Amino acid sequence: MVLSRRAGEAQIKRRGAVGLDASSGHLSDSGRANRRSLMRLGAMTAGLAVLPAIMGASACGRQVEKSPVTLKWYSWGPELPLPFTAGPGINNRLNWNQVAGQFASLAASAGGAVPTPATGNPPPVPTDRLLEQQISTFTSEREDVNVTIMTERFDRYNDKLMAFAASGQVPDVVVYDGPNALPLLKAGAFYPLQRLQGASGRAFLADYQPGYIDASAFRGRLFGLPYQARQLVLFVNKSAFSGLSLPPATWGSPDWTWAHFLEKASQLTQRGSGGGFRQFGTLVTGRPFWASLIRQNGASEFTREVSRSRYAEAGVHEALQWASDLMWRYGVAPNEQQNPNGQAYTFDGGQIAMWIWYQHTLPLLSTRNLGFDWDVYPLPSSRQSATYADWSFISIGASTANVDQAWDLARYLAGPDGDQRALRTGIASPIIRGSEPRFMTGAAATRNRAAAIQAAQQVIAVRPLHESWEQLTGLIDYYLRPVWTGQERASYATRDLARALDAVLGGIGQGGPAIGNAPAPE
């Protein structure tokens, strides 16, 4: 599918010049040439000699037309596919009707039929029509650009992108999710965006909320624009709060600290028959959860340049210990044995009263008949308000021949006009200033928009774009495992973990490739 403002316009052919045969270019005057016509031709030839100079000054009063360039755009659709928004604490059943519904009634993989698990049909892909709509404003204003739409069903999307990168044929503009960024960055798949930052580019980047651009840099350079971001918020089963006061509606309230949260969680934890639990007050949802606690406690996992670990510091291990204590000391969150595979106690099942997860799950929850009233609220705080953020990226292919036009399309897609559908549903958070009025204006408009908007404005914990992040996370998982199983205090585990992390970071820093936000060696 190729889109352009010029598409469908009639082509106008220039007529032959006066006194010349239009097809052959020879003189024509009823088939004869005479002396007067030859003299006239000589004068015309002399005039043509100075024509380039005249056109250079005035272009003869007409604009010289250029053929429009064609950009290839690879995207999963106007918004992150619903299956990507699920997480621990929500039933992981997948209803293909819901997925197809996200792409509208026309979205299906074959013949317009909506696939279901029983049919054996593959998952649907977004229709060209939805993607056309996403860039309609851009293409209507740009006569110099055609856009070829490329897409893929969500379960094959990243594999296809990696195949593009391996073959050196990355499309001009691509969309991909943050967890998949490092292999593509290491492969040199994308064009460094700082080469394109004129005054308008710098102004565009300055509109992002603090932290998002800095955390998107790899080797000190920006290769992708943050896109369709999500932050942790607190999903609350309001029906379970019957008789209890709800959390404050806005962030930073002195009445919503870890102590207040623990008190609510204790009151909401209910035992059932046989000594089991009918409902837990909350759920520990992995790294995003406890990394946000570290930031709330005024600490961070690494130094800003990711050159040393800070896990041995008190602010870090205190936050980790508090997360573990929710399960093993206070008993307000299920442990691994009580909640195998994270499916015995879920928020949508009504067994978790306060669930900490990303706001981008709003549309998925809205598709399910939960049987209780719910809403979103701020996270509690310790020394400061903070959350965890993750996001996708829009990048320009390293081999594109049309860098300026690709940069224009990338900025459009990342901005409020290009991302309006995802902003409206709540899948994308308003991390660009000025996009707030478009946020949660669809089915989620009745929810607490203020809390979700303010989540995008908080201090954030992130996943560093680090050369050896896979190795570092392996160490983190290994050393913190006894903390999450209740077998070791966080202060002991983090002491050993910090030494292991620093050994890796030190080894990389000694003559190895640049890491984190450090500039690449010349």
pLDDT of residue 83: 84
Task: List phi, psi (to 5°) of 353.
Answer: -80, -35
pLDDT in tens, 267-312: 999 998 888 899 999 999 999 999 999 999 999 999 999 999 999 9
Per this entry, what is the length of the chain?
A: 522
247 vs 376: CA distance, rounded Å: 10
pLDDT in tens, 1-57: 666 544 433 333 333 333 334 333 333 333 334 444 434 434 444 444 443 443 344
Secondary structure of 255-308 as H, E, C letters: CCEHHHHHHHHHHHCEECHHHCEEEEEECCCCHHHHHHHHHHCCCCCECCCCCC
Q: What CA–CA distances, in Å, run from 148 to 1, 28, 66, 174, 206?
A: 5, 45, 19, 12, 30
Q: What residue type is 359 in one-letter code?
A: Q
Q: What SS3 class is residue 352? A: strand
> Which pTM value belongs to this model?
0.82
pLDDT of residue 467: 92
Per DSSP, what are the bridge partners of residue 460? 387
Tokens of 415: 């901005």
Closest CA to 412 of 68, 141, 69, 98: 141
Low-confidence ranges of the chain (pLDDT < 50): 5-62, 96, 100, 102-122, 509-522
Judge whether 353 and 279 are in contact, CB under 8 Å: yes
Exposure of 205 by Cβ count < 10 A (0-12 exposed, 13-18 middle, 19+ buried)? buried
pLDDT of residue 507: 85
139 vs 135: CA distance, rounded Å: 6
Q: Domains of the chain, with CATH numbers?
A: 69-229+390-456 (3.40.190.10), 231-389+464-509 (3.40.190.10)
For 218, other C-beta atoms within 10 Å of its C-beta total: 24
pLDDT of residue 301: 98
422 vs 302: CA distance, rounded Å: 32
